[in-house]
Structures are given as structure tokens and as C-alpha cells.
Structure 1
Amino acid sequence: MTSLDHLQVFQALHSSPNARLEHSAELGDGMVAALWNNHHDARDYQGPSHHTLSCYIAGGTETFRREQPGTKGAPDKLCVLPAGHDSAWVINGNIRLAHLYFSQEQFALGCISLLDREPRELQLRESTFLDDPIQAWRFRQLIAMNWDEPGERLLTSSLAHEMLSHALLSQVGARSGLKLKGGLAAHLRRQLTDYIETHLGEPLSLGQLAGLCSLSEYHFARMFRESFGLPPHQYLLARRLGRARELLRNGSLPLGEIAMACGFASASHFTNRFRQAVGAAPGEYRLAFLR
């Protein structure tokens, strides 16, 4: 789960005497949703360590970035604020906006699994007052859900994953002038991802994965992190949990069989890891999608 204390954009708004947090929810997998009201304010965001997707729900017609005073917001306008960006905002009048925060690790996983590219090759493009009706509709679905009700919060988490995938497919571009050093060759990266996907139900060791690349464990771990954006054990756990979510949503296998199919040592180990990542037990997750 992601701590709100480490979300700089969230904290910048929370520290304002004029901004009011209507609601927030930690959605698991490094994602957090928040719904805000604000009026007559000025806020700066300086190099956050996380990415932010923002949608104006109401108002915003007199809101602008300080360096772009002629460009104003409006309901259903979206902003994409990548990790590491700097922006300064002036809010005139009243505004209601929804935020979805997600971690760089989730961005990295999406680059690998959805785009088949190394995360360091790509960047989330910064955009201000973007028109994207599909994503705006998803934001309105998001805020219509009851984040306090466990089942609906799990559905909210699934919707947030859809929003992240949409952003990856529409708002990601290659880094200009990039000269990559180190890391794994593209064919080795693909070989590893294919191998991991077909062997998720088996115990996979660092030495076993390093051997596929003819590298020592030390060099493999370092080069894997450079290419994948996260260490091998974290990537492997994320893929196992991803497979588990698919099986829970789309089938009726007993939890013990799902645990084995996804490489967890026992049903209790699976349940503990799943709860840590998603914020609910596997059975609760399955029930949410049967409603």
C-alpha cells in the first residue's frame, strides 16, 4: 500500500488552507485516489516522486498554470503530471477535481507488460487541460463509487488499473536524446518475461533467472533493475499477483489451487501477500466481481 505522507502532490494540496479533501482511498498496487475542492489558491508541485492523473469535475474555467495564463481549465479537462515535473497553479473561483496517484514502480510494470519496452526508455508526457472523453468518463465512474465499502473499493482499484493502462497507451513517449548504458539486451528481457510468465507456478530463484542470461546473480540483479525499473523479486511478485487477480476475476478455482498456480508456498502465504498489495483478502476480491 502507498502512504499518503509520501505523495507530494497530495501533501501540497492538503497543506493549503483553501483546499478541502472530500475523500481519499488507497487502492493497492501503489495507487491512491483523491477527490478535492479548492478555491482562490496558488499551489506549486516540485519534482514529486510519483505520477498524477488529474480530472476537473466542476469549475476550473479560471484555473491556469502560472507560465500559461492564457490557457484555462474546464470540467472534464485532464492534466498529466509525471514524476519529477515542476508546475505552478493559480486557482481562481471554485474547482472540484479528482486525482489518481500511481508509483513509478507501477509505471515500470506497465511499460514492460503492456508496451514491451524498458521503463527508462519511456516517459509519461506532461499534459495540461487535455481532452480525453474516455478517461474523463472513467474518472466520473471512479468518484461515483463508494470507496469506504470494501467491495466497491476493489472495483475502484480495477478501474484505476484501466486508467493507468489508458495513460500508458496514450500518454507515453520515448525519451529524447537517451543513450542507454548497462541493462539487459532486448532479446534477454523478452526471454525473461516469457520465461517468468510460463513458470509463475514454480519456485523461481535469482540464480535460475541469472543463469538464463549467463550472468552472476549480482550482475543480473543490477542489470535487471536497470532494464525493468524494479528488482527481480518485486517484479516476480507483481506478476504472480497479477495472474492471481485474473484467476479470481475469471474463474472458480479454489484459493489453494490459485496459490499453487501462481507460485505461492501456501494458501496463507498467498492471502497475506495479496492483502498487503491489494488491501483485501483473495476471497473478498473475488466476491467483489461476482456482484
Structure 2
Amino acid sequence: MPALETLQVFQSLNRSPNARLEACAELGDGLSAAVWSNHHDAQDYQAPDHHTLSCYIGGGTGTFRRDQPGTKGGPDKLCILPAEHQSAWVINGEIRLAHVYFSPEQFALGCVTLLDREPRALQLRESTFLEDAAQARRFHQLVALNWHEPAERLLTSSLAHEMLSHTLLGQVGARDGLRLKGGLAAYQRRLLTAYIDHHLEDAISLGQLAGLCALSEYHFARMFRQSFGLPPHQYLLARRLARAQALLRGGALPLSEIAWMCGFSSASHFTHRFRQAVGATPGEYRQALRT
């Protein structure tokens, strides 16, 4: 995900003289979060290139969308603002809200790994003032953490992943009237995901994956991106890091062994890639979850 300051929803609030940024953090894995307070303001969002989950932590009873003036917000109300959506808001009175931003690539990964569907066939459903007690509780837990303390920031990242998974499982629907062209067949996509997950410890090449689908490497790479929403190397790295996180959460294996089991050439390469994606070393990640 781009730097937090480049995200349109974040930028829009940050420019407002009435909005105050209380906390923000980039959480790795295409996720970031912010807590805002605001009062007597107006905000317009025009086709952002990222998705936003929002929860009213306090206030908001005078907040509404210009196209829905009769429907007001309130504490624990949730909003789902997909990428490319348009909305205009009026904030009367005081409001405190938390945002979790996530990238199209994270949406694509969730569609493939959680829903076993092509990302381009699905869309995140826009929702205003949704009631979801479990999701609101996660937001309150997130806001209560100290994002500047490394261990608690990692817990914030875990909560953000839970929120994203919850949203994908409940708030994603098929795109109406869509006729997919190109890309891989469903059986090829499932063959590839199963093969990759069963061979993460191996040095998987583009040629091997292309061969499974009887395609040239060039044609395969283009079709893979169409069906998975990201290129093969990025998907493979994401799956390796997901396995590493599961192993770090679930036991006390040496880091060198985890590196080997997840297909990294060395412990130092594993640590470098893990820090790039998560914002902490594997050891720091494991220690944070233990404490």
C-alpha cells in the first residue's frame, strides 16, 4: 500500500481545519489505521484507490450522507467505503472515528484465499451506518492499543487482519452483469493455489506454474494477474509470509527452520522480507503475540 499520507480518505480529513488526527500507523501487508476526531465539517470522497472501514467510536449522531439526510450515525455504527466509490458527508456536532485502510491487493488476496473466487468477479459492498457488534468490538480493541509501542502495533495489525477477513466474508458480493474475459479457468486457479500452498518450501519458478496450466510464461503471468489481482511472485510471497506468521503464532520452532519451511533462502532473507511486509522482525512478531 502507498504511504498512509497518500491515501485519499486520509488526505481529505488531514486537510480539514476541523479534523484532528489522534493516531495513525502503517501496519504492513497493505493495511494501515488512523483515529480521528472531528466536528462541524463536510467531507467528499471521490473514487479513492483504496478501501476504508470506518467505525464511530463516539458521537456521530449528527453525521449523515448528503444523499441520505434522514439516516444518521452514532456510536458503534460502521461504514464500508470501497475503492472507487463517491460519497459526501456532513458532520454536525462532535465525532470520534477509527479507520482501517486496505489495498486492492489485500482485497484480491482475500477473495482468492478466503472466498476461492476471482477478485475481478467480486466487489466490496458499500454500506453506511451498519450495525455489527463483533466488528465494533474489534475497533474498540484496536483504538485502546498503543500503536507507537512495537508489540501493541503488531497486535493492531492482527486485529486489522481480523476486520478485513470479517468484512470479506460478510460484505462482498458478485459484480452485476459482469462477463469475464481472459484470465485462468476456475480449475486452473484452484490447481495453482493448492500447488503453491503445498510447495511453499520449494524454489517455485514461473515456468513451473506456467507449465501446470500449459501456457507460456508470458501468457501465464498476464492471465494470472487477471485472475488473482496481483502478479505470481507477489502472491507467492504473500502465501509464504502467511505461513510464517502462522508458524510464529503456533509454536517455538527456530527461525532458521521456519525460513526453510516457508521457502526463504536463508534466515536473513526471511527476516528482511518479513520486516518489509509486517514492519517487525519475526522474533519481535512472536514475542509480541506471547506477551
Asked if these proteins are the same fold (TM beyond 0.5), I'd say yes
- For 1:30-69, what aligned pairs fall within 5 Å after superposition? 30-69=30-69
The equivalent residue for 1:115 is 115
In 1: Cα distance, 2:17 partner to 2:220 partner: 49
In 2, Cα distance between equivalents of 1:81 and 1:125: 8
Equivalent residue for 1:10? 10
Superposed, which structure 2 residues align to 1:103-142 within 5 Å?
103-142=103-142
1:222 deviates by 0.2
In the TM superposition, 1:71-220 aligns within 5 A as: 71-220=71-220
The 4+ residue runs of structure 1 with deviation greater than 3 A are none
Per-residue displacement from partner, 1:119-154 (whole Å, max 9, x unpaired)? 001000000000011100000000001111101111
Task: Work out the CA distance in 1 between the residues paired with 2:154 and 2:38.
Answer: 27
- With normalisation by structure 1, the TM-score equals 0.99
2:290 counterpart SS class: coil
Conserved? CA contact 1:2–1:31, under 8 Å: no
TM-score of the aligned structures, taking structure 2 as reference length:
0.99
SS across alignment from 1:176: coil
CA-based RMSD of the aligned residues comes to 0.6
Q: CA deviation at 1:202?
A: 0.2
| Alignment partner, residue 262 of structure 2 | 262
Superposition deviation, residue 276 in structure 1: 0.3
- Matching residue's letter, 2:41: D
For structure 1, the 5+ residue unaligned runs are: none
Question: Post-superposition shift, 1:289?
Answer: 1.0
CA deviations on 1:47-71 (whole Å, 9 max, x unpaired) are 0000000000111101000111111
Measured in 2, the distance between the counterparts of 1:15 and 1:31 equals 21
The answer on whether the counterparts of 1:76 and 1:136 sit within 8 Å (CA) in structure 2 is: yes
Question: Aligned partners of 1:81 and 1:252: how far apart in 2?
Answer: 39
Query: C-alpha distance in 1, partners of 2:91/2:251?
Result: 48
Tell me, which stretches of 5 or more residues in structure 2 are unaligned? none
Amino acid at match of 1:114: L
Contact 1:5 1:11 in 2 (8 A): yes
Shift of 1:94: 0.6
Which secondary structure state, in structure 2, belongs to the residue aligned with residue 164 of structure 1? helix
Q: Which amino acid aligns with 1:248?
A: L
- Say which SS state the counterpart of residue 223 (structure 2) adopts: helix
Structure 2 residue 278 is matched with structure 1 residue 278:
yes
Deviation at 1:103, TM superposition (A): 0.4
Note the C-alpha offset of 1:6. Answer: 2.4
Structure-1 separation of matches of 2:176 and 2:274: 38
Asked whether the equivalents of residues 4 and 10 of structure 1 are also in contact (C-alpha less than 8 Å), the reply is yes
Letter in 2 for 1:56: Y
Partner secondary structure for residue 289 of structure 1: helix
